[in-house]
Amino acid sequence: GAGVSQSPRYKVAKRGQDVALRCDPISGHVSLFWYQQALGQGPEFLTYFQNEAQLDKSGLPSDRFFAERPEGSVSTLKIQRTQQEDSAVYLCASSLAMNSNQPQHFGDGTRLSIL
């Protein structure tokens, strides 16, 4: 496909369960970003990869959040022992180059609901 692909589109989990969210970036894109978007708000940065290296994870809200991109392409965001405040849309974005000023292209996101 031509765009960033995320799965699943919707995820419902009970509090305390672990979840895994997947992102397939645009082919050849070096940089990959995860953002969290609460209802009615702008996306907020979680973490950033350049190829397989996680260069910035300053936005991850707690040590329950973990992200990886082992082969420099697909990325997974894992949330352990989910809590109700984790409910949000999780957006993935990718960009072509390593340097700044490059457009970030977003996927449709995963809407996570914690019951």
Partner 1 sequence: GENVEQHPSTLSVQEGDSAVIKCTYSDSASNYFPWYKQELGKRPQLIIDIRSNVGEKKDQRIAVTLNKTAKHFSLHITETQPEDSAVYFCAAINNAGNMLTFGGGTRLMVKP
Which residues, in sequence order, are bridge partners of residue 31? 50, 95
Nearer to partner 1 (CB atom), residue 9 or residue 81:
9
Q: How far is CA 47 from CA 14, 15, 34, in A?
A: 25, 23, 5
Q: Return all residues near 88 (Cβ < 8 A) that are at least 6 apart.
A: 36, 37, 38, 39, 111, 112
Give the single-character DSSP code of 85: G
Using the rule CB under 8 A, which residue among 43, 69, 79, 82 binds partner 1? 43
Nearer to partner 1 (CB atom), residue 17 or residue 57:
57
Using the rule CB under 8 A, which residue among 13, 30, 45, 64 binds partner 1? 45
Q: Return all residues near 39 (Cβ < 8 A) that are at least 6 apart.
A: 88
Q: How far is the CB of 90 from partner 1 (least distance, A)?
A: 12
Task: Pick out residues in 7-26 that bind partner 1 (CB under 8 A).
Answer: none
The answer to whether 33 contacts partner 1 (rule: CB under 8 A) is yes
Interface stretch with partner 1, choices 21-29, 51-59, 61-69, 75-83 (CB under 8 A): 51-59
Which residues, in sequence order, are bridge partners of residue 37? 89
The answer to whether 42 contacts partner 1 (rule: CB under 8 A) is yes
